[in-house]
Structure 1
């Protein structure tokens, strides 16, 4: 059988890539699409209505009314001309009198096409993926209202396809997130177990050394040993918390306890490298809070570490302030460090965004810390904001809601 020539869109390769991205070819019929072809057939009063998609070799029908074939060769497809044209609709009143189609097997044989009207299915990027078309076996013309309705229905076809693609992407992203969370939990559990053994050995060794020094007059060595023991115990507690979190992530936020703020801050500061000349001022009065201690520790660990790392002054200063009202705890962490450019104040909370700034330890940030801080605070029904001036320092203010009710999963 003689194959008829057909036009090829100028952006054909990109168009085919766009079509592939919908992952719709050769899928099962779907009611949402079938309803649109049914409406097209009813509105235009034609026995045949089709949603056709054009790949490199064929015309495949996602939905069809009045036709049994699932596809036809591309060279016979009227829609090949529709997607290559510049108009919003292609109308062929009588294909028998049109030189493009008069010898077409779909005209001379089954299904004996005479009338055709097709609206290209143009996606949001401007690629024509196929068409919504109506067909009759006798000569016909459409009214302006029918043409307008057919164009509206074509937009709805694209809307359904976009929705389908976005849902598929969300499902893939969700699966990736589930797999990532699973990996992180397994890694945290494994790392915690690996850390616990040497920490336990350090604790036992330090306690043995403490016993040996008990009768010694070397107070400096005694103090260093006591500091080593208390730090090791704190690290072991953190490891236990990691183990708990790795098996039940929700505990990071749901384990609400009564917390004394200043002792909590001193614990955090004890785990941070404080350079010479750096001064940290705590709230003047101690305050008692009811919240997730480990979540608050993680927030302050990051904010205090950043305030130290990005401070270029000989006499560094960090001020931590606290107040509360009926609904929220309010915290403020300010420093006299390098500062952040105004254009970057929102970006610093985005995942994996770094500002390519070298800290005082000659290291670059990962762009994960502040993203996680913001996520934690938002999970605790709070907010965080930042003010900064280059060379003058930075102030972070955040809130944590009292009596917060968390969702069942507790993930952040």
Structure 2
């Protein structure tokens, strides 16, 4: 672009402008009314409410012309927002070196007079102008200048109010989503507590029976299982208590952790039936994300892979890789599989296939929908490929 005066803080100005969501929006009556009022007060045929982007000028309201935007290098208003003056007036553009060869002056529009007042936000950035044009030389009286300045403030007040309303709506939406996510997470976490509790109970019962009969050489292994499961349970409960005090920290509180260490901890929390084999990546990966969210994603998918495996030799393969943008996790099993028509529905809340697991229990429809919510909240995606009788593979991509 040529001969475009720029503010010293142009990047910050453009960033501020973006927060008002003005470009490529339809005209609105409340702004059209202000432009019409500016034309009437200033007694000129054309009035605009304009905003200056990186390379173009958009007309939020256009009275007296059908044009909706202009190139920035042809804009009178670009000079107005770069000036420190509270109004810029050009009595006769044909006599002004800045505009005498401008196509809107020399072309069919024959613009001669211009007056523009910058629209300035609360941080001091000039976002655009409210301006008036005439096709003959002209000027404004002091009262007309004051009125135009007042209209510029009204435009800014309306924009600021709308921006704050949008921010409140976004905050309320995020809060609602957070509350729903926490409720689902609490339901799923409470369900997952049953696994380490079962380990504790079964280990303790077996230990008691065998000690009553005779000293059993496998007691140390049972004791280790008991202690490990109890420690995992206590850690999970502590995390639940922490996040119950500050729900937003569920996703905001990120940390670096070992993927292999997490997988081994989760596997140790499961009751692995005889015949089920689980393989994990040999390479040691370090991940930086929400530990509790990642934990719950893997825990639920692994638990499903175990529960819904009907093969004599059940195989579960956990694979992982990463690139500059994503963590990529795959969990494949050779279980009962999922019909193609349900591949999307299984991620919706409370949806179940009505199938019983290897323990003759039916699912609640909570787990996979919560996994989907957690993955989405981590700026990721989850997909599945599956066929009845052959198994399923879940693909998770999480933004690094």
How high is the TM-score relative to the length of structure 1? 0.48
How high is the TM-score relative to the length of structure 2? 0.50
